Amino acid sequence: MPKINVYLPDDLAEAVKQSGVPVSAVCQRALEQAVRRVTAIREAVLADHDDGPVGALAHFSPRTRTVLKLAAERARDAGAPRMGTEHVLGAMLEEGTNLALHVLRAMEVEPKHVARELSGRQSDVPATAPPDSDPRRLDGPAANALELAVTEATALGHHYIGCEHLLLGLAVEPDGVAGQVLRALGADPKPVRRAITAALAGYVHLRAEAGQGQPTAASAGAPPELAGVLRAELEPLARRIARLEEHLGLALEG
């Protein structure tokens, strides 16, 4: 049986040893589930009707389904054989009302700058389309990004996949054009994850004040006033990080 090494942080490795967790069995089960999800996502076809993705993508919020539908249209219009991360990120910008854009603005990453960088880093389109070309299907990096979005949503305890999770999946995915653009503009995975957590905390607060309860998949967008809440949530964190970097001698010039 083939062997795969799994590396763990020291504290987690020690906790695993003390708990007696059956590492091999747990890892096998987790990998089986991840492979099934990735395969299902990669083989999924975005329906032409207005219901949007079904099956493997059924837990995606309405705005996320809209983004994926727009991404398929962008891939088709560009003559791409499959939908790539660049089409997904471009569609997110085109949709214009999703929480991911508020998260980017709170991080001082303007969507218009993302769009400009994205337009200069589109993937090459082959002169002759492969036999299995279908712009409604996801290419490898895009499928991985969606799987990462599902993983991140699960880790945050959410039962839906919103555009904020999709943004994080794109930022984490290492090979796609979208991740390269986002990271080049400062939207690295860790800050994006912190910003999303702050965004949802602020959104819950706003909805609670309005007597609307918790956000759901159908209401995963953000009200206009959320940007101010996000900045208020993020500023103390940014100050603490800056002080820590200064203390460690890591502060960057400029």
Q: In the predicted model, what is the mean pLDDT of residues 223-240? A: 52
Instruction: Report the C-alpha gap between 243 and 42 in whole angstroms.
Output: 43
Nearest to residue 83, comparing CAs of 131, 49, 125, 119?
125
Residue 148 corresponds to which tokens in the numbers above? 């990462």
* Tokens linked to 124: 């090459």
Can you give the length of the chain in residues?
A: 254
Please give the single-letter amino acid code of residue 231: R
8-17, 118-127, 136-145, 243-252: which is most confident: 136-145
The string of DSSP letters for 7-65 reads: ---HHHHHHHHHHT--HHHHHHHHHHHHHHHHHHHHH----SSTT---GGGTTB-HHHH
At residue 49, the pLDDT reads 39
Confidence band, pLDDT 50/70/90 cuts, at residue 225: very low
Predicted pLDDT of residue 37: 64
Rounded Cα distance between 230 and 248, Å, is: 27
Predicted TM-score (pTM) of the model is 0.66
**Coil, strand or helix at 83:** strand
CA terminus-to-terminus distance, the chain = 53
**What domains are there in the chain, each with its CATH number?**
17-248 (1.10.1780.10)
pLDDT at residue 250, rounded to an integer: 45
Residue 93: per-residue pLDDT: 95
Residue 39: the pLDDT is 64
Q: What is the pLDDT of residues 104-147, one digit of tens each?
A: 988 889 999 999 999 887 655 554 556 566 777 888 899 889 88
pLDDT digits (tens, 9 = 90+) for 39-57: 666 555 555 434 444 555 6
Which percentage of the chain shows pLDDT scores above 70?
64
Which position has the higher pLDDT, 114 or 154? 114
pLDDT of residue 183: 94
Helices (H), the chain: 10-19, 23-43, 62-77, 85-95, 99-106, 111-119, 140-155, 163-172, 177-184, 189-209, 226-248
Amino acid symbol at 45: V
Q: What are the Cα distances from residue 81, in Å, to 40, 70, 137, 223, 236? A: 19, 16, 9, 36, 45
Task: Specify the DSSP class assigned to residue 194.
Answer: H
pLDDT at 101 over 70: yes
**Residue given tokens 């962008």 in the structure block:** 74
Least confident of 62-76, 95-109, 234-248: 234-248
**Average pLDDT, integer, range 191-206:** 73
